[in-house]
Amino acid sequence: MKHTIYKTAIYAAIILQSILIASCSVSDFELSRSVFIEDRTNPGLPEYSEWGYNTFGAYIDRVPFVSGEDEPAKIYVNSDTLRFFLKGVYKNSETILLLSVKGLSPTEYTELTMLNDTVINLKNGNCKVEMSVKDTLRLLNIIDGQIYFKRAQLLKVDEVAQKTILSGEFRFRTFFNNQPVAISNGRFDVGIGYENFYNF
C-alpha cells in the first residue's frame, strides 16, 4: 500500500513539474516575441506601455500600421549615425519605417539609455525618415513631426543587463505619391539587446 501511494506521489510530482515547465517555456517564448494589448481609444493600435512588450503602432491616415509576429525593432549604428528600424504590417503588406539620426553613436545597447526623455525633431537636417512598403524603400519629405523617447531603461536579470527597453511616441506629416499624409498616434515599446543591436 505504501509502495502504491509513493508511486502515485512520484507520478503526480512528475506531471506537475512537466506542466510547470511547459507553461513557463510557452510564456517565455510569447514574451520574447510580442504582447499586443489593443488601445480602446485608438482601435487597431497597441496601448502605450513601458514594459518591453515588443510592439509599436501608428495610424497612416487612420489606417493602422502595427508590429507583426517577427522582431519589430532593430538598431543599427554606423559611424556617427543611429538607425531605428520598425518592421510591421500596413494594409496587409510588410512595411518598414526607418529613422536615421546623425550625431548619435552608442557602441553597445546598454548605452541607449542616453535617449531617455529625448525629443528629436524629424524636420531637423540631422534626421532622415524612410519607409518601405512592398520592398520599395523611399526617402520621405517631412513636413513636420517628432519622435519622443519618453523612457529608456535597462532591463537586468540577476544584475546582468539583458536589454534596453525603449518606449515613446512619434508623429509626423509627409507625402505619399505626392499626396500629404499624416502618421499619427505613434507609440513603441521595444526591447533592444544583443540580438537586435548592431554597431559596425
Rounded to two decimals, the pTM is 0.83
Sequential pLDDT tens for the chain (200 residues): 545 444 444 444 444 344 434 444 433 344 356 899 999 999 999 999 999 999 999 999 999 999 998 899 999 999 899 999 999 999 999 999 999 999 999 999 999 999 999 999 999 999 999 999 888 889 999 999 999 999 999 999 999 999 999 999 999 999 988 899 999 999 999 999 999 999 99
43: left (phi over 0), alpha (psi -120 to 50) or beta: beta
Residue 32 is predicted with a pLDDT of 57
Q: What is the DSSP letter of 47?
A: P
Helices then strands, counting H and E runs in the chain, come out as 1, 12
Instruction: Tell me the one-letter amino acid at 2.
Output: K
Closest CA to 152 of 120, 98, 111, 182: 111
